[in-house]
């Protein structure tokens, strides 16, 4: 079932859809000789590419995912027993014989360290397997130690391959379901993550590490000009929306 989910996430990528439409338009014109139909498909491809690549569309999708954590903030006075950081990717550079955290993972870890320095916690848990030679959890653990988190406070979970698994693994790590879990991940991912961890723990505190949504400061030309960054944010948002839908279906069927 997880393979179906991964394939479906790939299929909603705007670049994949646009290339597919362009290929359809090409074969319609080449084989079918129906130029009008081919031109229509080509036009739809252009409209989709433009819409997915402009700031207002990308920003709205990000706002849809992050709005709950923009409008309300966690109570700064609330104690945290276990601070959990979810991995967001890591990559190998073979020539350097090393694995590096992605920008997303680094942002989450830095945010978690900041929370720890302000509020403290009994445990600092780094979670995620990833696809590198070194797991995301281990990469984050090394960084956390360099940033001053005491080694004896850190717990490493390097088995989980997704958010669903991370919640299951944390449930097995801590028997007391009433402890306060400080959950650190990207704001766009936090709603899905919070829902999963609340299946097992009664007190989950959402702690957004970074935001893709941004208040507009662009002039009218830049705002509506296609940009690769906006296309990237649209793609991330669509994949997260698919993730939320998939987890809803998975919860019902299991």
- Helix H, strand E, coil C: the string for the chain is CHHHHHHHHHHCCHHHHHHHHHHHHHHHHHHHCCHHHHHHHHHHHHHHHHHHCCHHHHHHHHHHHHHHHHHCCCCCCCCCCEEEEECCCEEEEHHHCEEEECHHHHHHHHHHHHHHHHHCCCEEEEECCCCCCCCHHHHHHHHHHHCCCCHHHEEEECCCCCHHHHHHHHHHHCCCCCCEEEEEECHHHHHHHHHHHCCCCCEEEEEECCCCCCCCCCCHHHHHCCCHHHHHHHHHHHHHHHHHHHHHHHHHHC
Q: Does 232 have pLDDT greater than 90?
A: yes
Residues 84 and 176: their CA atoms lie apart, in Å, by 15
Q: Which of 44-48, 56-60, 247-251 has the largest mean confidence?
A: 56-60
Q: What is the mean pLDDT of residues 189-205?
A: 97
- What confidence category does residue 109 fall into, taking pLDDT thresholds of 50, 70 and 90? very high
Delineate the domains of the chain, giving CATH numbers in brackets. Answer: 2-66+220-253 (no CATH), 76-208 (3.40.50.620)
Q: Which residue has the higher pLDDT, 72 or 207?
A: 207
Give the pLDDT mean for 108-117: 96
Which range among 14-18, 23-27, 102-106, 245-249 has the greatest average pLDDT? 102-106
Say what the pLDDT of residue 114 is.
95
Q: pTM for the full model?
A: 0.89
């Amino acid at each position: 079932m997880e393979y179906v989910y991964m394939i479906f996430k790939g299929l909603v990528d705007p670049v994949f859809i646009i290339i597919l439409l362009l290929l359809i338009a090409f074969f319609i014109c080449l084989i079918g000789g129906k130029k009008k139909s081919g031109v229509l498909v080509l036009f739809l491809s252009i409209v989709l590419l433009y819409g997915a690549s402009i700031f207002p569309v990308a920003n709205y999708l990000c706002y849809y995912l992050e709005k709950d954590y923009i409008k309300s903030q966690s109570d700064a006075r609330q104690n945290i027993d276990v601070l959990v950081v979810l991995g967001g990717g890591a990559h190998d550079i073979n020539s350097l014989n090393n694995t590096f955290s992605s920008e997303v993972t680094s942002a989450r870890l830095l945010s978690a360290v900041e929370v720890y320095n302000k509020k403290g916690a009994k445990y600092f848990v780094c979670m995620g397997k990833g696809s590198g030679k070194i797991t995301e959890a281990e990469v984050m653990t090394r960084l956390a130690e360099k940033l001053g988190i005491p080694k004896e406070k850190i717990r490493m979970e390097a088995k989980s391959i997704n958010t669903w698994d991370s919640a299951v693994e944390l449930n097995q790590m801590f028997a007391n379901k009433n402890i306060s879990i400080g959950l650190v991940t990207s704001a766009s991912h936090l709603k899905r993550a919070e829902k999963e961890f609340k299946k097992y723990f009664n007190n989950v505190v959402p702690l957004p590490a970074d935001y893709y949504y941004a208040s507009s400061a662009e002039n009218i030309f830049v705002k509506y000009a296609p940009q690769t960054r906006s296309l990237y944010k649209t793609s991330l948002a669509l994949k997260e929306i698919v993730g939320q839908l998939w987890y809803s279906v998975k919860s019902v069927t299991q």
